[in-house]
Amino acid sequence: MERRGKPWLVPTLLLLLISLSSLAYFQYPQATTTSSFDPTSHPKSPFKAPKQNIFSELTAAEASSVNTFILEKFGHLNLTKHPKSAKDNFVYIVETLKPNKTDAIHYLHPQGTDADADAEAAPQPPERWAKAAISENFPDGPYMVYYMVGPLPVGEETVIRPLEYCFEEGRNWVKNPGRFLARVQDFGAILDFALSMAEDVADITQELLGATVNRANPNDPQSLLAFPRGSRVETGGMVLWMQFYRPGMGSGARTLLPQGIYCKVDATSSNTSDWTVGQFYYNGVLYDDAEEFRAALQEPDFQRTPPNLDGSWTNTEDFGEYADRELPPPVSIQPYGPRYKLDKKEKYVSWFGFEFYITSAMATGISLYDIRFKGQRVMYELGLQEALAHYAGDDPMQGGLEFLDSFFGMGKNAFELVPGYDCPAYADYLDTEWHQSYKTHTMPNSVCVFEFTADYLLSRHTAQYSVTASRNTFLTVRSVSTVGNYDYTIEYMFYMDGTMEVKVRASGFIFAAFYTANNTKSEDEYGHRIHDALSSSMHDHVLNFKADLDVAGPTNDMVRLALEPMTMKYGWDQPEQPVRNTMHLKEYQVSEETGLDWPKNSGEFYLVYNSEDKNAWGERKGYRITSGTGMGSTPHLTILNSTTLGDSARWAEHDLWVLQRKDTEPRSADPLNYFTPHDPLINFASMANHESLEHGAPDTNYDGDLVVYFNLGAHHIPHSGDIPNTLMHTSSSSVMFVPHNFADADPSRQSVQGVRLQLKGHKSGGFAGEWSAPSSPSSPNNGDLRTRSSARDDNKTKAWYFGHTYRKGVEVPLEMLEPDLGGYVSSEHDITDLNFNGSAAGMWHREEAFGG
């Protein structure tokens, strides 16, 4: 085929014309390529938050005064400080009742008030109130009841009243518990029943498992334990399926060591003496009672499965010496100190345009409030609401297993972080506190704040005559919550362009299933065989977060900006191309409360726009919500209409939700939902009830203040690589909030550190396509990085830095490279047992059950 013309000529000529149209003459600055600024010679002044942290948790003094006030005012309840059973009345928790947004905004963002010019005119902080949960015993059993106490500090005006306004239908109580065992007089009776049941079948457990229970020492690693999974029946009764486990109570690996004997217990009565032991289940076979089970053992064709024995395979550490461990890994250091500013007292952070407050809660851990970027409002509230794990399986334990972890306490179980490992050695660490059973518990160093430089650039570009590289540094606020068998690392990340990312990583021991040797029909249906007598158990992790966006103010709209294919006829395309297959953008208003899933092929942008404020180019200021970095798109719950969860976690049914923001709907879930999943205190389905998101019309009360709830997590199908622990890089997920026309141009250019290298060459100068031009005295040094240097005669590569560089070497103390962990503050942690101790039955003093 004959080749006609030069196809590369047209685009080349086009680029040349564009270059000529923007031709300008520049001169490079004559300064040296390194700054004379020495950060170490400039001491930092103390940093203070601009306002009081009105979201902070109660102080120890405040919590003590609230407890005393309740004891005095509720004398008729005969509240005890040392409850020994659910029949005792006691104050379970006290914590901050977060102020309503309508009150908080008046303080944080006063309209028409110059607080600096006239301090007396500045609005005062909203009233401070406490929330209390009290266990009260009524004739039909114990209840958990919420109250509000305030205003604080406690004084003549302080009152206590039912906390009703933020719960569905004004209800402030749940029966304690609808599906667990709080009606039993004491926790010890439950353990005693389990031990008695196990002793009655000791011959069977010895025969099949090679072990029995040890009543004298539940921590005996060679003995067995029995734990229940409770479930209600329609008649109002209670059924327990008890499963045997090894080793002892103190082992972290217990969820890897289920044993394949299950026992069904009728626990309808409030007295354990009336409980009855029924069926047994082993290796896929159901036996009517222990006698039938014993008889089957004697049959020659009885099929056994190996016992699930502990060993080195459950160890999370290998202390052996190996050649590839001779050198320690690289670490990050911070020679000149932090670039962010932190007011530890108010827990207020400022970093390159971002500003926000940090607070914590016993149930949900840390949350951020009043997030601003470059002085503009971005988000009022960002924080965890609930963490769900839902399992599936064909045995009596895994088949109905689920957890709502806020009940166990994502904040309560946020333990001390390990410097140099959980966070860089140079990070700042914050303590958190929570108040339970009349005591204040301090968790030292449970939140870290640090800046980090990524292993990839924020941006770069190689042109014909130059290379520009911009370092990618970001700020992180991190905590780790260890609930039972899993450690959840939760972090809030901030980038220099205004992007925010919420990320969850998980590690720990999986909650595994016993492997049934005669399993044929359901082989690999719920997981994989991962050890001699162990099978993985598929499950969903869904963690729900609240993002109360205030993009450049509270009046916002949400749209779906779709990328859609189309066929179009263009006049300029005729006659060569009659029609052209192409694509375009089409915007769909989200006009009512709804749940959304991440679109196929990422074919839609979910955007929250300010309804009124626009950037310099007339575009609405907005933020995009998108599934971020991690293992694929963030998930929602696989199970449809879960029979176990009921109505307690309807937020898990879609990836994200958009709702009207209301003071009466401050959260998507409540920890006490765990008690009554079919009649929860907060039913998210009642919140997301398709109310209109259109505002501005005369007949609507909605003002455009919307809130987004989004889910992180994973569809976890554990495999052999999850033994002994799941790895964090294989179980991470995130959602990002990315500026979309929020600024007039990329704001990171004002903050980022980087370099422009002028490459060797006769024409080395500006951007590719620009003409070289001689320097001229009339061309002043305007500081523009694109300006030209007259000193090009040496034809060498030149480096032009934006931002400061390190000027000299530093001596790094060993603690900056490898902290001395001998000073670790925390002592022994209480175990969060996801069956007994973490249930309603374990609310009162657990030491009574274990003999101290």
Instruction: Please list the active-site residues.
Output: 405, 486
In angstroms, the CA 255 to CA 389 distance is 14
In angstroms, the CA 752 to CA 496 distance is 7
Residue 607: how many other CB atoms lie within 10 Å: 23
- Nearest CA-CA partner of 664 in 163, 221, 255, 184: 163
Q: What is the DSSP letter of 655?
A: S
* Token code pair at residue 648: 């307690």
- Nearest CA-CA partner of 672 in 207, 178, 300: 178
In angstroms, the CA 537 to CA 528 distance is 8
In 3-state terms, what secondary structure has residue 547? Answer: strand
In angstroms, the CA 476 to CA 454 distance is 12
In 3-state terms, what secondary structure has residue 841? Answer: helix
In angstroms, the CA 151 to CA 230 distance is 40
* C-alpha separations of 845 from 90, 567, 832 in Å: 11, 70, 13
CA-based end-to-end distance of the chain:
93
- Nearest CA-CA partner of 680 in 229, 167, 233, 231: 167
| Exposure of 73 in the CB half-sphere (CA atoms within 13 A) | 19
As beta bridge partners, residue 506 has 488
* Token code pair at residue 744: 């007039």
In 3-state terms, what secondary structure has residue 356? Answer: strand
* Token code pair at residue 244: 């045997």
In angstroms, the CA 411 to CA 423 distance is 18
In angstroms, the CA 83 to CA 62 distance is 22
CB 715 within 8 A of CB 540: yes
CB 759 within 8 A of CB 465: yes
- Rg (C-alpha) for the chain, rounded Å, is 31
The residues, ordered by sequence, that sit 6+ positions from 24 with a Cβ below 8 Å of its Cβ are 770
In 3-state terms, what secondary structure has residue 793? Answer: coil
What are the helix (H) ranges across 668-753? 684-687
Q: What is the DSSP letter of 72?
A: H
Pairing of strands 141-152, 439-453: unpaired
- With tokens 């609005």, the residue in question is 123
In angstroms, the CA 36 to CA 41 distance is 11
CB 268 within 8 A of CB 237: yes
CB 714 within 8 A of CB 541: yes
In 3-state terms, what secondary structure has residue 799? Answer: strand
Phi/psi for 684 (5° steps) reads -60, -30
The residues, ordered by sequence, that sit 6+ positions from 850 with a Cβ below 8 Å of its Cβ are 218, 249
Element (H, E) at 262: strand 258-266
In angstroms, the CA 274 to CA 187 distance is 16
Residue type, 698: P
Element (H, E) at 679: none
> How buried is 45 (Cβ within 10 angstroms: 0-12 exposed, 13-18 middle, 19+ buried)?
exposed
In 3-state terms, what secondary structure has residue 730? Answer: helix
